[in-house]
Structure 1
Amino acid sequence: MLLSSLILSALAALAAASPLTLQSARFTVTSEAGAQLRSEPISLRHKSMAPVTLAQTDNLKIAFQILNKETGEGVQPHQAFLRFYDAESGEEGVQPIRVGSGGKAKFEMNMAKPPASLPPTTTNPLQVSLIIGSYEHSPLKAYIFDLIVPPSQPAPVHPDEASFHLLPEIQHTFRPEQKLPPKFVSFVASFAVLAPWLVLLGLWSQVTPRLPRLASPNILPFTAALGAFEGLLVWYWVDLKLGQVLLYGACLGVVALFAGKHALATIVEGRSGKA
């Protein structure tokens, strides 16, 4: 019940809102030199006015006062707009109007520098309407006149406009897939890589009685460092880059240096003890 009462009260308040009207509404068209070309009053009742035509350098001035139709007092609405509408293309633009405390309003448009709210224009006339909104009064929407203005000029071409057009598709030429050598060639190359180790093992077997064993704790780190170098070269062949090989090789070189020095010292001590 309370909600229904509030709704009824709001509808009653809207129904009782005072209507708005215009007083001393007039438009004036002047030339660039300031000469008056046309000046007529604006009537909300009679809509048989001839279209208003503006040249490229003409000025349009609209002045009016918003009044309470019942009391005749000036009203400052919350919103006031001019609507420019092209019925042929459907384009429209809305231009706000500043209204003083006494309800007086003025609008001026210079066709040399038209406002951004003016829609793109052709040879078709624009229907100009006045829209006024107020919380305390009934809204007012009235057709004023038809406006004929010069057609819009095409947008200037930006110097970089061609860079944003669709360019021809880039055709890439890829290298053919890498051909693997025959298995026989790979076997021969692998044997050539491992041959030094076979020779080393053969020579090692001849001097084993006079040297410490390969698995000795003092010799094994140096042998492991040499094996790591061989593994690093194989890894470089498969995946690594030159910079990575140099970095890892430098680290292994330091380890091999100290391990070799320790192994050499052990061998010299062993020989000295036997002597």
Structure 2
Amino acid sequence: MVGPLSWLLASLAVLAVQASVLTLQSPRLTVSSSDAAQLRSEPLSLAHKVTPPVELRATDTLKLTFQIVDEDGKGVQPHQTFVRFYDEVTGEEGIQPVKVTAGGKAKLELNMARPPSSLPPSGKDPIKVSLYLGSFKHDPAQYELFDLFVPPSQPPAQHADEVFFHPRPEIFHTFRPEQKVPPKFVSAVFTLLLAAPWVVLLGLLAHIGPQVPYLFSSGIFPFIATLGAFEGLLVWYWVDLHLGQVLLYGAILSIPTAIAGKRALAAVGERRLGKSSPK
């Protein structure tokens, strides 16, 4: 059975482990150009920031190397290790995770030819670079590393469909002008032309006189009625119908008109034969 003293000692030991602080060993930054020439290489001090600030060109590469150790100088792999880029003026920030080996060795490489998406947009002011360490067994640690100037940010490439999401010009509908009506005199002339056949028909009816009732016989009148229907169809076309409708209705009306016309011719022939036969 564990006594109270043993439990207290164990608790103090746990607290001592949890209170241990992680530190960086041999931190160093290196700036190289595209041809692998070193432009700057110096150790980092955890007591104060690097001066002057680090400046990168569009083709430069920044390498940050260090080892994470505990109070005994033993390499430790924290549960979380990341670098924070922060612009104090705009408030933009970005987080870049750092891979750490089991022995605590870590390296971060920042290639400006292909900058990571975590890097905030650059401005006239420097970006603050900080290192954060998080562990379940050690106290969290934060180290202010250096100030960083990066090349001006380029505008993002325009998407092919981006133009469809911007305000478009207002659409104005152009309506067809009103249909022009011919002068009344022209309309009257063509109306008389359309009515001319009926005027001639009435004149002929007046000429034949006593034979008018024969036109209303069962053999002749249907043909006259279908002819009148054709005249009414033309008037309807003038007022409301379209050409396609007139052709359709005319084709349908032509069937009874042909039948009635054939019957009318037969009736007229029978009448003539009746008159010419000897009594």
Could you say if the C-alpha distance between residues 196 and 63 of structure 1 is closer, same or farther in structure 2, counting changes exceeding 3 Å? farther
Any conservation in 1 of the 2:226–2:256 contact (CA below 8 Å)?
Answer: yes
Q: What's the counterpart of residue 148 of structure 1?
A: 149
Percent identity over paired residues: 38
Q: What's the counterpart of residue 11 of structure 2?
A: none
Q: TM-score, normalised by structure 1?
A: 0.63
Distance 1:139 1:193 in 2: 106
Distance 1:102 1:220 in 2: 112
Tell me if 1:195 matches 2:195: yes
Q: Which runs of 5+ in 1 are unaligned?
A: 1-15
Aligned ranges 1:71-110 → 2 under 5 Å? 72=74, 74-77=76-79, 79-100=80-101, 102-110=103-111
Q: Cα deviations across residues 189-212 of structure 1 (Å, max 9, x unaligned)?
A: 685476347526735854642323
The letter for the 2-side match of 1:202 is: L
Q: Cα deviations across residues 139-192 of structure 1 (Å, max 9, x unaligned)?
A: 54432211133x41654998x9xx99999999999998777778x659846854
Could you say if the C-alpha distance between residues 86 and 217 of structure 1 is closer, same or farther in structure 2, counting changes exceeding 3 Å? same
Distance 1:180 1:103 in 2: 95
SS of the residue 2:118 aligns to: coil
The letter for the 1-side match of 2:41 is: S
Q: TM-score, normalised by structure 2?
A: 0.62
Deviation at 1:235, TM superposition (A): 1.6
Distance 1:269 1:198 in 2: 23
Q: What's the counterpart of residue 31 of structure 2?
A: 29
Any conservation in 2 of the 1:26–1:64 contact (CA below 8 Å)?
Answer: yes
Distance 2:65 2:129 in 1: 14
Any conservation in 2 of the 1:76–1:102 contact (CA below 8 Å)?
Answer: no
Q: What's the counterpart of residue 235 of structure 1?
A: 240
Deviation at 1:49, TM superposition (A): 2.7
Larger radius of gyration: 2
Q: Which moved more, 1:205-214 or 1:223-232?
A: 205-214
**Between Structure 1 and Structure 2, how many residues are aligned?**
245
Deviation at 1:263, TM superposition (A): 0.9
CA RMSD of aligned residues (A): 4.7
Q: What's the counterpart of residue 4 of structure 1?
A: none
Any conservation in 2 of the 1:74–1:103 contact (CA below 8 Å)?
Answer: yes
SS of the residue 2:109 aligns to: strand
Distance 2:153 2:120 in 1: 12
